[in-house]
Structure 1
């Protein structure tokens, strides 16, 4: 893809990629209905190198969907590893570390590229296998500019906001995909952001 700006709020972003497999600083938010979100801010240092590798070495796909009576562009690009590119070695290492912590095999890795503040994802729940009754794990590593990650009760209600950028890690667990929705809203101004989503084929069908 074309060249892009260097995105880093501090010098930590330009170091070699590294993370703490002990998940120091992890903080859990209990949402209710047996649902929770774990957050580690700045989980991945050296995130700039990973952003660059994924941005430049991935075959990104645009999609369209029917809205009322016309087709419109989905406001983000998507891809998956390894189908659309080699990724970065630290991605596999993080998947293994997540598996050790949460007792699951994170064998599905999907990517989403939010090119600017106009790119977004609407309120939704990730579709877990029906036999899991909503019990599923979804881990999201955010690279690039920070965006608001919102969650709210399924069907509407007051939302809660989390930071998603600069190497932050969010893990949605319990019955989160049954009782809660999440979104990345549009914003007036934002630099590119890549979302790296880790899932288990025990919880979700393949993409």
Structure 2
């Protein structure tokens, strides 16, 4: 069972979450601050600090304007409510803010992938989370490039080899971009773990390509 929940119209003071709320929205199309981490010989992750300026403007619009859904999932003959909220846009023309279209164009040009949809996760506080997983639903090719934009409160993002091994931890800030590439969706798993001490809200915007959803 799914239910639609709109969050309260009030949000924490943007100056408290992100610093100044006066910054104009802009995207660094040069990707000048990007740093690549090679996970192994076939997989990598890009971290692009401050890819978006004025991120609080987009955060506020998405937090209050998106019809966020809560989902129930059946596991072990029991029904559990997923500890986060989601929204899916199969067509970029339907996204609720035109600034996301600017992001789509910049990402498509830079990575050479046509991004034509997106899904979003909303973590209401540190009790919300995502377990270890791969993005199999939208990435069925051996090599995929999956950008994820962070908005709001800083949360830990972990990635580790699917066959076992030590995890790497990143802590993207609001406006930062995390991009998983190569075989990262085949050979690695990632998660956003619970952090009970955190009270703030985080939104992740995940950019999808229908071409990457088709097996090689």
TM-score if structure 1 supplies the norm length? 0.91
Q: Which residue of 2 aligns with 1:113?
A: 122
SS of 1:123 mapped into structure 2: strand
What is the alpha-carbon root mean square deviation over aligned residues?
1.8
Q: Which residue of 2 aligns with 1:24?
A: 32
The answer to whether the aligner puts 1:90 opposite 2:104 as a matched pair is no
Unaligned runs of 5+ residues in structure 2 are 1-6
Q: Which residue of 2 aligns with 1:137?
A: 145
Match runs of 1:52-63 below 5 Å: 52-63=60-71
How far has the Cα of 1:83 moved from its partner? 7.1
1:116-150: per-residue Cα shift (whole Å, max 9, x none)?
A: 000000000111554x2x21111000000010110
Contact 1:81 / 1:87 at 8 angstroms: preserved in 2?
no
SS of 2:56 mapped into structure 1: helix
How far has the Cα of 1:197 moved from its partner? 0.4
Q: 2:84 aligns with which of 76, 93, 104?
A: 76
User: Does the C-alpha gap of structure 1 residues 175 and 24 become closer, same or farther in structure 2, counting only changes over 3 Å?
Assistant: same
SS of 1:5 mapped into structure 2: coil
User: Does the C-alpha gap of structure 1 residues 193 and 71 become closer, same or farther in structure 2, counting only changes over 3 Å?
Assistant: same
How far has the Cα of 1:68 moved from its partner? 2.2
1:12-37: per-residue Cα shift (whole Å, max 9, x none)?
A: x5422112111111100000041000
User: Does the C-alpha gap of structure 1 residues 81 and 15 become closer, same or farther in structure 2, counting only changes over 3 Å?
Assistant: farther
Q: 1:6 aligns with which of 7, 13, 16?
A: 13
User: Does the C-alpha gap of structure 1 residues 86 and 54 become closer, same or farther in structure 2, counting only changes over 3 Å?
Assistant: same
1:146-192: per-residue Cα shift (whole Å, max 9, x none)?
A: 10110000132100011223111011111110111000000022200
Contact 1:165 / 1:193 at 8 angstroms: preserved in 2?
no
The answer to whether the aligner puts 1:182 opposite 2:190 as a matched pair is yes
TM-score if structure 2 supplies the norm length? 0.87
1:38-74: per-residue Cα shift (whole Å, max 9, x none)?
A: 1111211111110111111111110011232311110
The answer to whether the aligner puts 1:150 opposite 2:153 as a matched pair is no
